[in-house]
Structure 1
Amino acid sequence: MKLNTITLGAMAAALLSASAAHAAPQVEVLHYWTSGGEAKSAAELKKMMEAKGVAWKDFAVAGGGGENAATALKARVMAGNAPTAAQIKGPAIQEWGQEGVLANIDAAAAEGKWEASLPPVVNSVMKYKGHYVAVPVNVHRVNWLWVNPEVLKKAGAKPPTNFAEFFDAAEKIKKAGLTAIAHGGQPWQDATVFESVVLGTGGADFYKKAIVQLDQGALTSPTMLKAFENLARIKTYIDKDAAGRDWNLATAMVINGKAGMQFMGDWAKGEFTSAGKVAGKDFLCLAAPGTEKAFTFNVDSLTMFKMKSAEEQKAQLTLANAVLSPEFQEVFNLNKGSIPVRAGVSRAKFDACATKSMDDMAATSQGGGLVPSFAHGMAIDTAKAGAIQDVVAKFMNSNMTPQAAVQALAKAAKTM
């Protein structure tokens, strides 16, 4: 009897030990990649992590601009229960760094040779006080205009390159009984249109002065007034049901031929490709009117939070290097519509829109036209960005005049 008890005890201990050995280390990732193309991209990362013996706990929070995810993250961190990684970017990374809750992932950067394979402008954003705390996932171009060529053909319009051609096409589409501009009336989408209009109206140097440096002279200039006049005209071509519409539903209007054009970043391309559409044939990707020689960039990144156990910390470093592996960079960006952030990823599988984006990014980084997206949290701190976004949203949803909008914008830029 005694022997049996000992034997059973040993067997139980062995089973417990075996199950502990088989319990994979886990990463919990908070993100807002929830639309078709984005969700496929997140699923690929999960698959890759599981192949490396790391369990993936998904913490997906819907809402294309990330506001809902930011709220959920704050609640988790305040409760002392931060996820392994969260989708945060730009100046917000620095704001979280100041809270003292971010993990140092220099070890992953050294192993993956990040310094050599990432653009300097991206490297600097991923660091807090000289140490890596985040890993970049991709580069998005924001200043795209997505066009359904069949709708243009029906309306007798041609693909626009400047505002005169754009408004001519919009008028013809409207007269053909279709929606000229597909849009979702959410503040971040309003801001996305606004920044492309400012860029197209004033050029990259004006954009930097007004939107990045928040120069009062530029913000109150005739050029900014003209930008708001262009925006006021754009409003007249948006359908009455736009309020609250998600961006991917607006993209679906272009895909299905119900609308002709949409201002949106290149994540919209993931929706076209998920629907089996071919770039250059079923849809066109054009630089937003007047922005051919400029590139507004938006870099998605996973910011790492301090983990308690050595096992969790190791899994976190594994996640960081999986994100920057050429394999994931290729599959993620093919699904998402963006372009790889690291050097050395083959172009072979990327379509005409992506290769144009790669070429334009290289050209604008040399020519001074590469600028950070204000609407997507890359240009200015969150308080000022929020105040400016509120002005734009009010303008888009009221009878505010361009003159009043210019004054409100200048005031908002002074927000502390």
Structure 2
Amino acid sequence: MLKHYKKAVIGLFMMVFSHIAIAGEVEVLHWWTSAGEVRALNALKLLLVEQGHSWKDFSVAGGGGDNAMAVLRSRLLSGVPPTAAHGKGGHIKEWGKLGLLANLDQIADEQNWPEILPTFVNELMKYNGQYVAVPVNIHRINWLWVNAPLLQQANVAVPTTIEAFWQAADKLKKAGIIPLAHGDQPWQNSILFEMLLLGMTDSHFFKKAFIDFDAMSLSSEKIVNVFAALRKLKQYMDPDIANRDWDDATHMVIQGKAAMQIMGDWAKGEFTAVNKQLGKDVLCLPVPSTDKHYSYVIDSFIMFKITDAENKQAQIALAKQMLNKNFQQVFNLSKGSIPARQDMNMDAFDICAKESVKAVQTVGNGNVLPNISIGMATSIYTQTAIAEVVTHFFRNDTISPEQAAKQLVNAVKASL
């Protein structure tokens, strides 16, 4: 894979030097601070800097992006938007309501976005029928990452169902191995809740509860059972989970301190950064009982209206390069995701990426589901409300699953 990465980087240089542009500055807000994420973002910086533009990095730490979105909201309400901001589907709608987004229709026409992007990706880049954001990838969230040698050491089979997961976790715990690496942050807790929900229900229920926000579904016995499972899951974690970043949890799996982690495929960038062999040292498989679902997050860059002519040219250059095939390959090889373009050759990609492409193509449109926990399915307000209820329950053992379900209904209703 390193050979393919080097070739693609050389291709980026060749592409860059073939362009001459008016120099401008782009200020880009994002929350990518882990090793794999930084490496991926540097490929984009390279394109702009080598075209004569300058890149003003505006990184706000926090894996789920909550901190970054709070900063962005403050900037927008103060009338000083950045050139572009890393965001998700729900975020695009939120900022679109404020009338602050740039029109990218001309770029979309030039690059034929309706043809090169999957339909669900293409539509998410629009607000009121107008393109306002550029996708750089597709992340699958429902991944279980497994330290294969640890499971072999404990004579534990890789679990593919929730029932098998509980059995595996019990055996690992008895063997003195932490079954699940996790960080007690609201967005990470929300991911666990959502993955249990997918494994214990179905796509129809997911949509009724968290797309349509049907009160009967949100307060149903199924939701109560998911909360109960979340509490059970906590007993398979170590006691030092408070405010642990996701990549620190990933490194517990890398270092053999924990057997498994439930996390989106950006975790893969951490494994490959330390030369762990996917499919051998580290296994990737759908979260138990979710193999018929594809929970996705699309990293996109939302473009804001700016007035400076040179900076606007830099913004256009930035937008155009994001869907270049060479960049899509370099970026996604580093980030752990798969390209947003559906016409890419995947030979350079690893086994997990190839499985991700296969899954998004085969699970069926009705089972390709926007993720709740990282802003694809909801507004920022509803996303936050769900995470707060889940985290309050996760941290407080005196709250019953039934009480948590009632709190969830009220919180979602208040956020809409």
Q: What TM-score results when the alignment is normalised by the length of structure 1?
A: 0.92
Partner of residue 289, structure 1: 288
384-393 vs 136-145, greater mean Cα deviation: 384-393
Structure 1 position 138, deviation (Å): 0.6
Task: List structure 1 runs of 4+ shifted beyond 6 angstroms.
Answer: none
Partner of residue 267, structure 1: 266
Query: How many residues are aligned here?
Result: 395
Partner of residue 98, structure 1: 97
Structure 1 position 23, deviation (Å): 8.3
| Correspondences of 1:15-414 after superposition (within 5 Å) | 24-366=23-365, 368-399=366-397, 400-414=399-413
The letter for the 1-side match of 2:151 is L
- How many angstroms apart in 1 are the aligned matches of 2:53 and 2:319? 12
Structure 1 position 54, deviation (Å): 2.0
211-220 vs 87-96, greater mean Cα deviation: 211-220
The letter for the 2-side match of 1:163 is I
Q: Deviations over 1:348-377 (max 9, x none)?
A: 1111100000000011244x2111100010
- Whether the 8 Å CA contact 1:25–1:54 is kept in 2: the answer is yes
Q: Which runs of 5+ in 1 are unaligned?
A: 1-20
Q: Match of 1:413, SS? A: helix
- How many angstroms apart in 2 are the aligned matches of 1:131 and 1:365? 27
Q: Match of 1:28, SS? A: strand
- How many angstroms apart in 2 are the aligned matches of 1:200 and 1:57? 42
- Whether the 8 Å CA contact 2:187–2:373 is kept in 1: the answer is yes
- Whether the 8 Å CA contact 2:266–2:335 is kept in 1: the answer is yes
- Whether the 8 Å CA contact 1:108–1:318 is kept in 2: the answer is no
1:204–1:310 Cα change, 3 Å: same
Partner of residue 12, structure 2: none
Structure 1 position 385, deviation (Å): 1.9
- How many angstroms apart in 2 are the aligned matches of 1:48 and 1:363? 34
What percent of counterpart residues are identical?
47
Structure 1 position 56, deviation (Å): 1.5
218-227 vs 320-329, greater mean Cα deviation: 218-227
The letter for the 2-side match of 1:375 is S
Structure 1 position 213, deviation (Å): 1.6
Structure 1 position 112, deviation (Å): 1.4
- Whether the 8 Å CA contact 1:104–1:131 is kept in 2: the answer is yes
Q: Which runs of 5+ in 2 are unaligned?
A: 1-19
- How many angstroms apart in 2 are the aligned matches of 1:273 and 1:197? 27
Structure 1 position 200, deviation (Å): 0.2
Q: What TM-score results when the alignment is normalised by the length of structure 2?
A: 0.92
Q: Deviations over 1:250-291 (max 9, x none)?
A: 000011110011110010011111111111101011101110
Structure 1 position 90, deviation (Å): 1.0
- How many angstroms apart in 2 are the aligned matches of 1:77 and 1:410? 30
Q: Deviations over 1:43-91 (max 9, x none)?
A: 1111122232322121111110111111222232233322110012112
- How many angstroms apart in 2 are the aligned matches of 1:31 and 1:381? 18
Q: Match of 1:320, SS? A: helix
- How many angstroms apart in 2 are the aligned matches of 1:241 and 1:119? 41
1:51–1:406 Cα change, 3 Å: same
Structure 1 position 134, deviation (Å): 0.6
52-61 vs 131-140, greater mean Cα deviation: 52-61
- Whether the 8 Å CA contact 2:22–2:53 is kept in 1: the answer is no
- How many angstroms apart in 2 are the aligned matches of 1:42 and 1:382? 24
- Whether the 8 Å CA contact 2:23–2:311 is kept in 1: the answer is no
Which of structures 1 and 2 has the bigger CA Rg? 1
- How many angstroms apart in 2 are the aligned matches of 1:219 and 1:22? 52
48-57 vs 158-167, greater mean Cα deviation: 48-57
